[in-house]
A and B are shown apart, each in its own frame.
Chain A
């Protein structure tokens, strides 16, 4: 491994993001900025009912409309599909995996299910003509409620399955029941976690072109160009080798673009049929029904504990909405949290059960945190419930249960490599000044103030850096969890870095160049990072699950080491010294003991390319590829606190302070880390106080626009106070853990715990997310009554 001996490193400094120059000056390239000569535009006709039989589709009027090139129903295109849109995670052997084709043919199963497409010379003409498609729907009963969907006689999403139960998955250690029986106290709570809409700033978009010999190029606003490529072979039958997927600048994803969507297959099929490039840009309201949602679970969580607060059992039973179909990883989302239902606590007995449930709704899938916010929410809420039950301070209760020795083998079977949960909590309490908050809280209560204060905590950990491929195999995930890097030192010494990760806002170009800059001792300006094009980056598993740095970033280190090794051999040959006698630092090889004899890595690169004088048998060029499969997950953790002010007369709840101390391992770029923490926290707070996809009894989505689905803005939020504690991960040479999801995982329970804390003296013990003014006010009325 290349070791930096003398020079200050780039890693660990807040280098400004090189991406921002183009983003901030409007020169980024998003799908909607791309057009090829002859491009035609697709509009999708979507079912307005939550569930309907499609009696007929009449395309005559649409086909006759101005500018229309073609129009197709689901039946018209059925022969184009060689396979269903894939679901890569059959979580159990007997999971029910109903087929899911890009357009519905006989039955539509959620609002927004595509039933026909219209292709026209402009986007507006396609949209106008789509209104002329006459679909004869016969509306059928539907439900959007996970609990109702499991009742006898519930409307079935897939009638042929005879049930809405998709799977039951269970992980349980021996002796859970005995430990429950032996416990001093048992606390069980029920939690509803609402459905969330990811709201990437850029909705999805796709553009496809198919050449005369069947080679297909697709530009997609996706997080997963590599996964998309092989999925497209499955759906379309085009050999992967003939498919090129390009993810240009991608305006956010939060997991919603970690997927393979109907429209991606449709534009290729249509481009092939029509011999013209086909483009589709999602509308915002369309995004609300056609792009995956997150969460939507009902949990029952049980803790058993001794009377001095040592937790002996965690047992979770959850019903998790799948929606109407299984998208790429829909059934696996709960499992991403399955191993952290103990959180940062040492709990010897462990039982987690998930029931996947079909409902007549847009499919769910990965949304920032994916499975781990759900787990952390029920865990941290129940921590407070247990503390209240035992009369132990919630902070003290957490401390009594923290894992303190590493590696920590969990009852669930995994091993946490490192951490220091006390250290994060200590630092949090330093920043928070809890005493003055408590005295202000008491003063307001005693003074009869209608604006009460509450403070809530969440100490958490997460399992990310997805993922050791063997473990993925063991839990029935279809693909691997490795990633790759290729480094090419050019003849004159500049460096191309090709990564298999696919950034969509995370600043990989900056952080990756910091890592390679250190490893090779070259200037940041001499490093170019390439990504997001399967013709450029052949190998990769893309970006999601806080995996890019802990997997793809580590691959950079391994590839750099190979470069340095080869360069060392060249230098050794040219200077006629043993390779062992060369030191490498700051991009220069020096002979030990006579440092005036030296050669830079750039000079070595020139020698490698001129090939005039290489060691016998050495291939010219200075390029290396490394594929890294992590031996373990990575385990960030930390402590968060929220302070809220609740207006007891109106229920209006405002966040007044938010303090977060995270341990994400080594921070490659602290500024980028901070950005991720802020954004992540905001999304968790959003779930706690504002966001909720609301359906009526008949499964009609009511929150269909940004006017009613309340994404908070900077105006609603205080300035967050953040800090880091650091325990380096011993699992990888960078010591990194991942930061993309920490904030979202930690923040929602801290906020809700704070709301409950504000009202606890009145007798309020529970609050459902989001804590809307009406819910808060009603909770107060209930305890008054």
Chain B
């Protein structure tokens, strides 16, 4: 309940935040605080200084950029959930954001925070992976673009280097695609036991090409490539769903054993694909 002692700085701009981050090795950005503060209260995280970016209005936006929709890193889950632009062009993103935690969590938590934290049980990472989103990371030397497929590197690990911050997420428009985010939780506010994001191009009402993202099936969010390939090769949804656990390495914890997670991934995957085709 009581974190270890830490210093606190308020960032006035993204540049200021990055400069402050560079000053102390174990500095951490504080966005919505809904992952970081619980970890600090359990003394699992002990940053010596928090750089508060929570007030950077300049990084809270959703913009139409033609091919893609740009989401500022400080945009709250609640705003992602309700954004009309996302609802129109990237409905799976706004839907998945609406399944995060509870209203309190969604009003505080940010899209940048949830992606930067690298928790494989979080929802938006798998969605971004399935959508082939790109993440804009800024450091003292400028910005670089990281594809979602290269961003998540391990449990609580990402491609963000120590004095960098995530500033924007670019989500390709997929208004025509069928989609689903099918999530199973123990209680409403819990993290997914397993969840499956499915984005489907339809040909004659059947699955043509699908991207499948998996939440909580390994150290990072994963793509179910074997199932995707099978679908591309003409397999039925049921056949493809059976392949979803291939290449995953889920953990055993309070919510489920690894084996049961593999089973759930098949069932939820099948349901997600069926829903995506129909929607």
Contacts and interface: CB of A to CB of B under 8 A. Distances in A.
Given A285-B42, A705-B42, A777-B260, A694 B254 contact: yes
Interface stretch (B136-144, B186-194, B204-212): B186-194
A712 B187 contact: yes
B257 interface: yes
A772 B189 CA distance: 16
Interface in A380-402: none
Contact of B187 (A283, A649, A713): A713
Interface stretch (A122-130, A520-528, A536-544, A662-670): A122-130
A713 B188 contact: yes
Interface string A632-655: 000000000000000001101000
Interface stretch (B12-20, B58-66, B170-178, B262-270): B262-270
B184 A773 contact: yes
Interface stretch (B1-9, B79-87, B221-229): B1-9
Given A285-B42, A703-B254, A710-B187, A650 B264 contact: yes
A702 interface: yes
Interface string A681-695: 000000000100010
B2 A124 contact: yes
Nearest to A450: B267
A283 B1 contact: yes
Main secondary structure of the interface of A (DSSP, over half): loop
Contact of B188 (A128, A285, A652, A716): A716
A774 B2 contact: no
A649 B188 contact: no
B188 A650 contact: no
Interface string A351-374: 000000000000000000000000
Contacts of A690: 186-187
Q: How large is the interface on B (under 10, 10 to 19, 20 to 34, 35 or more residues)?
A: 20 to 34
Given A284-B1, A716-B187, A774 B256 contact: yes
A177 interface: no
B4 A773 contact: no
Interface in B234-279: 253-254, 256-257, 260, 263-264, 267-268
Contacts of A284: 1
Contacts of A774: 256-257, 260
A476 B99 CA distance: 54
A702 B251 CA distance: 15
Contacts of B188: 713, 715-716
A74 to B, nearest CB: 23
Contacts of A705: 42
A578 interface: no
Nearest to A651: B260
A442 interface: no
A610 interface: no
28 contacts: A123-B2, A127-B2, A128-B5, A283-B2, A285-B1, A285-B42, A650-B264, A650-B268, A702-B254, A703-B254, A705-B42, A707-B190, A708-B254, A710-B190, A710-B254, A713-B187, A713-B188, A713-B189, A715-B102, A715-B187, A715-B189, A716-B187, A716-B188, A773-B186, A774-B256, A774-B260, A777-B260, A777-B263
Interface of B: 1-2, 4-5, 42-43, 102, 184, 186-190, 193, 253-254, 256-257, 260, 263-264, 267-268
Given A124-B5, A773-B186, A774-B257, 9 more contacts: A650-B268, A652-B184, A705-B42, A708-B254, A710-B187, A715-B187, A772-B186, A773-B260, A774-B256
